[in-house]
Structure 1
Amino acid sequence: MAPSPDFDTLTMADIARLAEADRLPPVDRWNPDHCGNSDMRIARDGTWFHLGSPIGRLAMVRAFSRILRREPDGGYVLVTPVEKLDIEVEDAPFIAVEMKVEGDGAAASLAFRLNTGDIVTASADHPLRFVEHADGPHPYLHVRGGLEALIARSIYYELAERAISGNDDPPGVWSAGAFFPIAP
């Protein structure tokens, strides 16, 4: 597996090219019989566990993340052409750990690097949403097929600052021509 490029040095055009070149397996077309439980869990902080022990190799986490699918009942499975295994997800299966911004206001683009190395630009196809919980707001980015990334708290503060400094009512952020209010 090639090392991930330095996110800080990428332009939005670079990010678009990387996203286009990143072909995922067709997990939405695989429908094997259910085979059981994977004995895996994704913690709220994005750590992947197998049999209670953290999976320390990013390459393994990335490989598993590419065969992760959200089921119509809201559950999560790891799926291949021949088996489907349940996996427990405490909040969201991904964490947005870094954000890159180009432009301002309605001309802004916000790209996020996930804990798996994937890069997603917020847009109408990859919306941001903000959910209020007892412990404060939880911001999410749609990644693919019903899978979301919880946005790290430090990045949420950057988003909130952008929203407050803008002139939009309600306050929110723009990315790739789409507007996302920060209040739920």
Structure 2
Amino acid sequence: MVNQNNSAQSVEKTPSVDDKNLMNIAQYLKGVQQSHKRSIPPLDQWHPKHCGKMDLTVKANGEWWHEGQLIKRQALLDLFSSVLWKEEGKFYLKTPVEQIEIEVEDEPLLVSQVDQVDIDGKLYLQLTTTNQDVVVVDDQHPIFMRDYAGERRPYVHVRFGINALIQRHVFYHLVELGELDETEQGKAILVLKSGDLLLQLDS
């Protein structure tokens, strides 16, 4: 529904429902942003109404497209990724008042950096996404392999059932940090250690 007060400004182009939904979410997020530091809201504690689906797609390469236009503003992408929610296999942008379904081809997050960090005298793998999510690899956030479009891809679990695709250059770094082994059938396996967690990734 178009606000009558804005009708004079909407003569040339009436904003689409998707535009309004997207801007409402962005406005809400900016309003609750306490500082420059990235924080993830308590989405699991919110129970908003479902407000349909918008024309927003996260491509398998990590690009976000809205109504056929590539979203390039990193600050906006960081905001939207902080309210990603997954429920019954579907992805949403979620606030306390609305939950809007979006399309995600593979996973909505990308890992762009890997580091080793010392925690209580043990070395852990730490992964950082393009949206500045920081994930320490452990039992709750394991690295695993999965097929997508005929290709074997590495992922890490981040939160709320949502995973991040580990980019190729990061995976090469993981190979350097781990050890290559092989099964009795001659299949290559990457062995990684993070704290006390031992991971075996098949190619």
Query: Could you state the TM-score of these two structures normalised by the residue count of structure 1?
Result: 0.77
Match of 1:152 among 143, 151, 167: 167
- Structure 1: which 5+ residue stretches go unaligned? 3-20
Say whether the 8 Å CA contact 2:106–2:148 is kept in structure 1.
Answer: no
Render the CA deviation track for 1:65-87: whole Å, top value 9, x for unaligned.
Answer: 1111010x111011111111001
Say whether the 8 Å CA contact 2:39–2:82 is kept in structure 1.
Answer: no
The aligned runs of 1:118-137 (5 Å cut-off) are 118-133=133-148, 135-137=150-152
- C-alpha distance in structure 1 between counterparts of 2:173 and 2:147, whole Å: 17
Q: CA deviation at 1:171?
A: 4.1
Render the CA deviation track for 1:128-184: whole Å, top value 9, x for unaligned.
Answer: 1112456432110110110100000122222234433579x9641011321111117
Answer 1 or 2: which has greater strand percent: 2
Matched, 1:81 2:100: no
- C-alpha distance in structure 2 between counterparts of 1:132 and 1:158, whole Å: 21
- Percentage identity across aligned positions? 32
The answer for the alignment partner of 1:56 in structure 2 is 72
The aligned runs of 1:24-39 (5 Å cut-off) are 24-39=40-55
Say whether the 8 Å CA contact 1:34–1:84 is kept in structure 2.
Answer: yes
Render the CA deviation track for 1:14-67: whole Å, top value 9, x for unaligned.
Answer: xxxxxxx85421111212221111221111111111112111111111111111
The answer for the alignment partner of 1:42 in structure 2 is 58
Larger Rg: 2
Matched, 1:90 2:109: no
> Against the structure 1 CA distance between its residues 32 and 25, is the aligned structure 2 distance closer, same or farther, given a 3 Å change threshold?
same
Q: Tell me how large the CA RMSD over aligned residues is.
A: 2.6
Give the structure, 1 or 2, with the largest relative contact order (CA under 8 Å, sep 6 or more): 1
Say whether the 8 Å CA contact 1:163–1:182 is kept in structure 2.
Answer: no
Amino acid at match of 2:68: G
- C-alpha distance in structure 2 between counterparts of 1:79 and 1:133, whole Å: 26
Amino acid at match of 2:110: I
Say whether the 8 Å CA contact 1:171–1:183 is kept in structure 2.
Answer: yes
In terms of mean alpha carbon deviation, does 121-130 or 22-31 score higher? 22-31
Match of 1:113 among 118, 125, 128: 128
Number of residue-to-residue matches in the alignment: 162
Say whether the 8 Å CA contact 2:141–2:157 is kept in structure 1.
Answer: yes
Q: CA deviation at 1:122?
A: 0.9
- C-alpha distance in structure 2 between counterparts of 1:80 and 1:133, whole Å: 30
